[in-house]
Structures are given as structure tokens and as C-alpha cells.
Amino acid sequence: MGRRNKNKLFEAVEVVDAGAKGKSIAKSPDGRVIFVNNAVPGDVIDVQTTKKRKSYFEGTAVNFHSYSDKRVEPVCQHFGTCGGCKWQFMDYKYQLDYKQQEVTNNLKRLGKIELPEITPILGSKEIYFYRNKMEFSFSDSRWLTLEEIQSGKDFEDKNALGFHIPGMWDKILDIKKCHLQEDPSNAIRNFVKIFATQNEIPFFNTRAQNGLLRTLMIRTSSTGEIMVLIQFFEENKTVRELLLNAVVEEFPEITSLQYVINNKGNDTIYDQEVICYKGRDHIFEEMEGLTFKINAKSFYQTNSAQAYELYKITREFAGLKGEELVYDLYTGTGTIAQFVAKNAKEVIGVEAVPEAISDAIENAKRNGITNTKFFAGDMKKVFTQNFINKHGHPDVIITDPPRDGMHKDVVAQIINILPKKIVYVSCNSATQARDLALLDEYYKVTKVQPVDMFPQTFHVENVVCLERK
């Protein structure tokens, strides 16, 4: 006997809130939460459940009785299939409201700490074409949309250059126009796809691990410079040069054209040799008179304009007078460290990625900054009492950890040395709340400022100032 389908259809359900990871929230008749992946708070929907758990359902809206006044018309033709901009159908002012709500809820419910009044979220001036880095994948068996399948047509062009379908590592949606990175990003991507298809250059097949073209990365900067990197699965000098020369001829404005030959199972380039084909092996970003060298492997905040606002808030919260020793944990390429250096006696930056530290040292030298020092290594192993004894007891710690937050040993070391002030920059307010709870016995949160770095998505940054009790 086959397994009975336990999925349910709930009719005329009102969507009441926005939840985590871009999903909206409705309630079933028995009171259980339904996480809906394609609705806006205020919609009244019929929802077909796709998963059932003890305390909640997951589902998809299959019919709309009425639409929310929070809705707007999505600008992108790929919205709903591409997972890049999950909130594009929600008015931006409501996106900001729900991001503010997420930060507040996480700090209060997860952190369970005393909070000051949380400052209203700082929205992004640009809500489209704000990213300075995009990565696209090639595929020889592109994802067909539901409309294409239902049309019954036979599609000869199976090639794709675009984004992974959410949750599917081997399915690529072909992108005609993306609204996240300003031109010539779309023009470059479309040219590469058309030229490669016309010249029968094979696109990659992830499952079979064959084909030539793997990924395309495009980086732009506020200085107007452009980096393009094409990743090939294997070396074919004739074909590689055919494509790269075509890109050079079509887009002479490209500052840096590079390539990678990567025949390993995954397409990450961080353990690969990056070869410069034309121009420089880097581009430059500029912020408040400081210049930052960006290479193919560099981490740099992907919304340059909003990163400037984030760093200004960080500097303001630090409240430096010129006599402080500052530790910048998870410093990356040292952007925050250099940004606050003119207001500090000395800044010590620590980062796990050696290449990032090399960039930080080079950038500081280029910018004429002499009061910074940078060290590479696993944070929990570098940030020790011996390190502090050698380099000095920090007055202020700035920390900007990855989404997982700070390692418990790092938090313990901060508690051990108790600097006067901590400025905690976070891209995940849930793990930030966890860390703040660990610090709560010794520190009081005095300022909270959410910052929207990624319009049309559910992601939100948050900056917190803690002062010793």
C-alpha cells in the first residue's frame, strides 16, 4: 500500500507576518504556523502544504483571494523562479519594517538582554543595481520554467548562464537581465553566452563533470573599474583565447580580465591559481579618500555605497579620541581598521585568510597609514593572552564575524580582558544575539543600528555598541 499524501490545502488564509529567510507567516485552523514561500503579509490565500512538522507547516500559495497593499509589481522577469530577490514583490518601506522587526525580535527573544531604543533601520539609497560583485554559472542543461514546460515547445538552446535554482546544486536558470549589478554586467554576461553558444564552446555539466565553461564573475567598483573572471574546467588554449579575445574586443573598458583552469569537483576558486590575461590582476575601490586593492579572491562588502554608511556608523559607535588601542577582529582586507585608524592610536587587525591580510597590509601602505598591524590565523588560536601581552590590551574591540558569529573561545577571551567598549557588526542578528547574551553579565548594550545592505532580499546587517558595566 502506497504512502498516503499528508499534504493539506488550507483555504482563505490570511498571511499575517514575515518570517525568517524570506518566508511569510500564516496560521492554520488549528493554530499551527504555516511558512509560505510566495506571499506577502496581508495577502489572503489558499495554501498547499509541502511539509508538515510537529509545530508548523511549509507551503506555497496556489490561489489569491485578495492581494496585500504591501505588494508592488516585481521589476525582474525572472522573479519567482530565481531565488536572488525574494522580496521584490514587497514595497521597499515594508521590507525595511520587517528587517527592523527581525533584528528587534532576535535581540529580545534570543538575547533576552536589556536594550536601548533601537534606532530606525538605515535604508539603501539604491534599491536596484547596488552590488559590486556577481557570480554566474554555466550549464548545458538549463532549467525550464513552468511556463516553458506547459507551452509544449521544443527548446533547442539548452545552454544557461545564470543562477542556481534555490536548493538545487546542478540546476541553472538562464538570466537575461539581472537588476542587482549595473551595466555593463548584463551586457558582458549576455555577450559571453551568445558568443560561446555560436562558437559551440561547451557549457559545463555539473553531474557529468564535463564541458569547458564553468563560471563567470564580474566585479565593478565605485571608481568605474571592471574585473571579469572566466573559469574553465580544463585548458584548451585555442578556445580559451578565442573567447577571451572576443571579450577584450567587445568590452575594451574592462580593467582586469582573468581566468582560472579548475578541474576539481567544485567551482570555488580560493585554492586555484588566477591568471591575468589582460590588464591588471586587480581593481581599486575608493572610500573617503582611502584606496583598496580588490583582487579576484578579495572579500569586500558587495554594496559599496552602503558599506560606507556601515563603516561610518561603526566609527561613530567606537567614539575614538585618538589615544585608544583598537582590535579589529575578523578584519578581512582591513577596510574597517583603516577607516578608523586616523581616530585611533593603533589598530590591530586579525583575520583567518592570509591573502586578505596581505591585501590589508598592502592597502595600508598605499594609503600611507602607519598605525595599523595585521595578523593572519584562526581567530580562536591567534586572539590569546600571549597575543594580547605582546600587542597590548585593547581599549576598544571592533568585531565583524561571519554569519556563525564569534567562536565561544573568542567570546571567552573578550570577557577575560574586558575592553571598555565593543562594537559588534553582524550579518546575522540571531548569532549576534547569542553572543550578546554571553557578554551580558559584563556589558550593557548602549546603541543598536540596523543597516540594509541588500534591498529586495531578507538579509540585514546590525551594528551594536556595548560598554562595560
Please indicate, yes or no, if residue 296 is contained in any of the structural domains.
Answer: no
- CATH code, 334: 3.40.50.150
Decide which of 255 and 297 is more confident.
255
Q: What's the mean pLDDT when you consider all of the chain?
A: 94
At residue 3 the predicted structure's pLDDT band, cuts being 50, 70 and 90, is: very low
* 329 and 430 housed in the same domain: yes
The mean pLDDT value for 146-168 works out to: 80
Please indicate, yes or no, if residue 86 is contained in any of the structural domains.
Answer: no
Residue entry with cell 567587445 = 250
The per-residue pLDDT for 2 is 44
| pLDDT tens-digit series, residues 356-375 | 899 999 999 999 999 999 99
* 168 and 26 housed in the same domain: no
The per-residue pLDDT for 292 is 93
d(CA 82, CA 38): 12
Return the closest-CA partner of residue 254 out of 184, 326, 172.
184
At residue 291 the predicted structure's pLDDT band, cuts being 50, 70 and 90, is: very high
- CATH code, 48: 2.40.50.140
* 314 and 333 housed in the same domain: yes
C-alpha radius of gyration, the chain, whole number = 24
* 377 and 463 housed in the same domain: yes
The per-residue pLDDT for 155 is 72
* 117 and 141 housed in the same domain: no
Q: Which residue among 76, 82, 178, 427 is the active-site one? A: 427
Residue entry with cell 557529468 = 208
Task: Kindly report the length of the chain.
Answer: 469
* 346 and 257 housed in the same domain: no
* 370 and 459 housed in the same domain: yes
At residue 48 the predicted structure's pLDDT band, cuts being 50, 70 and 90, is: very high
Ligand-binding annotation for 435, yes or no, is: no
At residue 5 the predicted structure's pLDDT band, cuts being 50, 70 and 90, is: low
The per-residue pLDDT for 19 is 87
Return the closest-CA partner of residue 200 out of 159, 154, 260.
159
The per-residue pLDDT for 141 is 87
Please indicate, yes or no, if residue 48 is contained in any of the structural domains.
Answer: yes
The per-residue pLDDT for 388 is 97
* 377 and 279 housed in the same domain: no
Domain boundary pick from 287, 316, 338:
287
Q: Count how many domains the chain has.
A: 3
Tell me the sheet residues that pair with 64: 45
The mean pLDDT value for 441-461 works out to: 97
Domain that holds residue 154: 133-287
Ligand-binding annotation for 301, yes or no, is: yes
* 170 and 271 housed in the same domain: yes
Q: Given a cut of 50, is residue 438 above it in pLDDT?
A: yes
d(CA 444, CA 465): 8
d(CA 468, CA 121): 25
The per-residue pLDDT for 4 is 52
d(CA 206, CA 204): 6
Q: Given a cut of 70, is residue 227 above it in pLDDT?
A: yes
Decide if 427 is catalytic: yes
Ligand-binding annotation for 156, yes or no, is: no
* 156 and 190 housed in the same domain: yes
Ligand-binding annotation for 351, yes or no, is: yes
* 60 and 180 housed in the same domain: no
